[in-house]
Amino acid sequence: MQVDVFSDTICPWCYVGKRRFERALSIRPQSGLRVRWRAFQLNPAMPEEGMERQAYLEAKFGGGDRARSLYDSVRTAGSGESIEFRFDLIKRTPSTLLSHRLLRHAMAQGQQDTLLELIFRGYFQEGQDIGDKEVLAEMADAVGMERDKVLEYLEGTEDAEAIVAEDTVARRAGINGVPCFIFNGRFALSGAQEPEAFLQMFDLAREHEAMEVEGAASA
């Protein structure tokens, strides 16, 4: 089974969705599962240097009060998944292009999922600036990637066009919010759903796989 997850590294619901997906897998493990985290940018026009947090909240939500109200539901959902969101520690809202590039780079080394967990935790629970190359290089080093090589990669532009293209493909496919889980390239589950929703998608994907095998055998 192939699961492609479109998400953004500054999306709190994507963090919650990741944990709920993992909880579903702990309930019903899927043999031969392949998971790819795909790029979606909530703020594609964000400057490379990011924005001061308060200015971002004003522009995005019309002020900190409305943002705090919206984040209350996220905090509640996060507490159920052992995530303590610390939005108060976030000083800047970054461009996510660098973190998406690094995740794409990490996929080839089999470290994508582990690195994404560190990125989510660093940003949402520790207030780290994930738009900073040095911060990202330290995270990559923590999962066994070579820090100096990662820095060299981030200083360049490799994979930047691929990230923008991936985001564009998602929007053209009708994805306008994340997380969005695509099973076997056919079945989509949008949002940070509870584990039961993922279990149903596992069944649907496996049933379709079985039908394809049966169809091929009888052809």
Q: What confidence score (pLDDT) does residue 218 get?
A: 65
The predicted model scores a pTM of 0.95
The whole-number pLDDT of residue 64 equals 65
pLDDT of residue 65: 75
Residue 59: which of 48, 75, 47 has the closest Cα?
47
Domain 2-218 has what CATH class? alpha beta
Q: Residue 188 to residues 19, 20, 96, 118, 153: CA-CA distances in angstroms?
A: 18, 16, 24, 26, 32
pLDDT at 213: 80
The per-residue pLDDT for 60 is: 87
Q: Using CA atoms, how far apart are residues 114 and 101, in angstroms rounded to an integer?
A: 15
Weakly modelled stretches of the chain, pLDDT under 50: none
Return the domain boundaries, the chain. Answer: 2-218
Nearest to 94 by CA among 137, 139, 41, 147: 41
Strands 2-7 and 34-39: what pairing? parallel
Q: Which of 37, 140, 126 is nearest to 89 (CA)?
A: 126
Which tens digits make up the pLDDT trace of 132-157? 999 999 999 999 999 999 999 999 99
